[in-house]
Amino acid sequence: MDLQLKDKTALVTGASRGIGLAVVERLVEEGVRVVAAARTSTPALTETGAFVVPVDLTDPDGPERLVAAAVRELGELDLLVNNVGGGDGEATAGFLGVDDETWQQTFGVNFFATVKATRAALPSLLRQRGAIVNVSSNGARIPSSGPVAYTTAKAALTALGKALAEEFGPQGVRVNTVSPGPVRTALWEHPEAYGGQLARKLGVPQEQLLAALPGQVGMLTGRLIEAGEVADLIVQLCSPRAGSIMGADYLIDGGILKSA
């Protein structure tokens, strides 16, 4: 199916690996001109052919500098995918183990980076009647399922998507959210990231933790989600063929969330 994205322009944040990299790859395959933002580029990202902007979106002026660079490169923006995020800072700490600095860092990368990038990109997106997709987490609906600051920040991000859709939908900008469950990325697979730290806390090998995780959290698929599966959903929501999808929050969690 032609997604009608050829020659569109897109800005993707958090693009060096995982979901962000997969989104860049899919958009390029569809003929989209892409600016990819990452703190540090990777060979895989360079190979996509996207224009890479190295930037730390937690810097006070990072999002504004990024959008300015993207507009210089692309002319105007049709699509914005706010994928940047992370929750390693608090790892397995409970509420009393999370200090003010960690709360600020976690909200900085998972919420305020998207607020600032979206604010900077909206003038161009409004001119183009474009689309925004924010990448949240199923933890926004199940706050106890992950680190408290991370899931709280993602809940704020999900609420932001609803508010933006309500305000800017009538002006032609579609805003939607995608909320993945456990995805096979470095967050779970790297020994120093959340998955590795959780395995050490539980006293089990990380491989054993990952093998058991889908069953323990109720994933009906029996496996972790692949980054490409999430990217496929994001790119579909970017398409004009999804023109009546507005203010939605799409779960892609293998069936973890059981409520209607």
For this structure, is 194 an active site residue?
A: no
Structure tokens that stand for 220 in this block: 């009906």
Residue 117 belongs to some domain of the structure: yes
**CATH code at position 66:** 3.40.50.720
Residue-level pLDDT at 259 = 84
Reported pTM: 0.95
Residue 207 belongs to some domain of the structure: no
* Cα distances (Å, whole numbers) of residue 125 to 49, 63, 96, 129, 131: 23, 15, 41, 6, 7
CB-CB neighbours of 245 under 10 Å: 15
Helix axes 206-217, 194-202, angle to 10 degrees: 90
Residue 189 belongs to some domain of the structure: no
Beta pairing partners, 249: 177
Please state the domain count of the chain: 1
| Domain assignment of residue 17, given as a range | 9-184+226-252
Of the candidates 107, 111, 150, 194, the residue annotated as catalytic is 150
Residue 199 belongs to some domain of the structure: no
Residue 208 belongs to some domain of the structure: no
In sequence order, the 6+-apart residues with CB closer than 8 A to the CB of 79 are: 8, 9, 10, 11, 27, 32, 130, 131, 132, 133, 238
pLDDT tens digits, 203-226: 999 999 999 999 999 999 999 999
Residue 176 reports pLDDT greater than 80: yes
Residue-level pLDDT at 2 = 95
pLDDT tens digits, 16-29: 999 999 999 999 99
Residue 38 belongs to some domain of the structure: yes
Residue 217 belongs to some domain of the structure: no
- Report, as an integer, the average pLDDT of 42-55: 98
Tokens 């183009």 belong to 128
In sequence order, the 6+-apart residues with CB closer than 8 A to the CB of 258 are: 218
pLDDT tens digits, 104-121: 999 999 999 999 999 999
CA–CA gap between residue 78 and residue 39 (Å, rounded):
23
Residue 197 belongs to some domain of the structure: no
Q: pLDDT category, 89, cuts 50, 70, 90?
A: low
Structure tokens that stand for 238 in this block: 């970017």
CB-CB neighbours of 121 under 10 Å: 24
Q: What is the SS3 assignment for 247?
A: coil
Q: pLDDT category, 260, cuts 50, 70, 90?
A: low
Residue-level pLDDT at 198 = 85
